[in-house]
Amino acid sequence: MQEIDLSRLGEYVDAIDDIQNKWMLVTAEKDGKANTLTASWGGLGSLWRRKVAFIFIRPSRYTNEFIEGSGRFTLTFFDGQKDALGYLGKTSGRDVPDKAEKAGLTPTHVDGQPTFEEGRLMISCKVLYTDPIERDKFADPRLDDEMNPDGNRSIIYIGEIEKAYIG
């Protein structure tokens, strides 16, 4: 993968379409082991004079342990691979340790961070801020009822985008 200037990131990703409709993989590594999950919630933007990515991960997700343990995560975007991403969104690394390979993806590292050879764009982030989503903070509690019927609310992670690479 080739590093790109972060000022050109918008040329390679449409944050709304790529995340919501094409999905992305959120990957983190700790103690030499990586785990990934499929995400369709999140965004890219500017906060505190930094380029940031924000993601939402339920505390029950295995990848959450890796983000908490490392303070880092990557976002990988693909052209296609929807079946593989669907599998990765339904399968836990707790149950299937080599789930990425079973999905047909090839784990790799770029600049020491976990990603996948088939990715077209990888964004490397360092966690700046995290906070659990709480029911009493919803302006309309019906949205919480709709999105979190079991009460398993996500944690928001805001990560500073440190580098980006195209494949």
Domain encompassing residue 75: 2-166
Sequence length of the chain is: 167
Lowest mean pLDDT segment, chosen from 4-8, 53-57, 144-148: 144-148
Please report, for the domain that includes residue 6, its CATH number. Answer: 2.30.110.10
Residue 2: strand pairing partners: 166
User: Over the stretch 91-115, which tens digit does the pLDDT of each residue have?
Assistant: 999 999 899 999 999 999 999 999 9
Average pLDDT over residues 9-15: 94
Q: How many domains does the chain have?
A: 1
Look at residues 17, 59, 58, 63 and name the one whose alpha carbon lies nearest to residue 37.
Answer: 63
What's the pTM value of the predicted model, to 2 decimals?
0.95
User: Over the stretch 33-73, which tens digit does the pLDDT of each residue have?
Assistant: 999 999 999 999 999 999 999 999 999 999 999 999 999 99
